[in-house]
Copies of this chain bind each other. A is one copy, B any other.
Amino acid sequence: MKYVFGVDIGGTTVKMGLLSDEGKCLEKWEIDTDKSNGGEKILPDVAASIEAKLKEKNISKDDVIGVGAGVPGPVDSKGVVHKAVNLGWGTFDAAETLSKLTGLKAMVGNDANVAALGEMWLGGGIGYSDIVMVTLGTGVGGGIIIDGKIVNGSSGAGGEIGHMHIKDDEEKACGCGGHGCLEQYASATGISRTASEKFDSWGGETVLTKDDLSAKAVFDGVKAGDKLCMEIASEFGNVLGKGLAMIAAVVNPEAFVIGGGVSKAGEILLDYIAPSFDKYAFSGSKNAKMVLATLGNDAGMYGAAKLVL
């Protein structure tokens, strides 16, 4: 058996996994992300942790295919990171650095893209080779996989679908500085904002309370048949379905894989996205399936490992 390491570098912790080359997770653990001095210790810490694990397990480097890492920031197809503000990183060849530090073959990708690869390999997108992963969390992330390969984009911004301009009349600015980005409506934050706006003017009964207008509360309410919640979910689904229709006209994927915290609502989420997708999508690209992600927070670790396989 050959081994591979999957590493998902986040702003607080680094998730690490030792996997077989067939994707079986043999062990997973976390280390702290040390962001001091421009994050200069992060990759050495990762390398030291790999070294320690190999020693502990008595595994020779000859039996390790390599190490893959996902990073929260733009990464080009050569593994060069173009600033990862959450880690304090500037622009440098992270793949080369990680390879030198570990003495192993190393590949680096953007975390959302790498998560998409993980879901295609072992999660909701299994069996497909052309997918778009949509991560609905605090923001909206995306990862495009075509013919089994990540679309990194020319400056590492491939799959940044959260920042597609979707509404013209938005007055509030998105975190990116733009106005009317998909993320402003389809993220957990966006759903909560819509809930807050609608809650204030709602005349009827509702299970929602001013104290909890979270995306989770909204979808719990939808499941309980709450009308206000269903209205909020409809608005969310309408915007997201329209965005996915536009993406389908560009890359015509086999499937959209919906993940992130909001996707914990389950299949009912898809019921709200699908009608809008169907309404706005070009006939030739309507074939796209809509499925839920299944790997949760481990998608990045799995996908990172897949990078080197």
- When chains A and B are docked, how far (Å) is the Cα of A194 from the Cα of B191? 36
- When chains A and B are docked, how far (Å) is the Cα of A6 from the Cα of B87? 50
Q: Which residue of chain B has the shortest Cβ distance to A247 in the bound complex?
A: B250
In the complex, per-residue mask of A153-172: 1 if CB is within 8 Å of any chain B CB, else 0: 11111111101110000000
In the complex, the answer to whether A153 meets B285 with C-beta atoms within 8 Å is: yes
A284 within 8 A of B: yes
Q: How many of chain A's residues have a CB under 8 angstroms from any CB in B?
A: 44
Would you give the shortest CB distance from A158 to chain B, in whole angstroms? 5
How many copies altogether?
A: 2
9-residue interface stretch from A27-35, A143-151, A200-208? A143-151
A245 within 8 A of B: yes
In the complex, the answer to whether B154 meets A287 with C-beta atoms within 8 Å is: yes
**A178 CB contacts on chain B under 8 angstroms:** 280, 282-283
A246 within 8 A of B: yes
In the complex, the answer to whether B251 meets A251 with C-beta atoms within 8 Å is: yes
A74 within 8 A of B: yes
In the complex, per-residue mask of A193-223: 1 if CB is within 8 Å of any chain B CB, else 0: 0000000000000000000000000000000
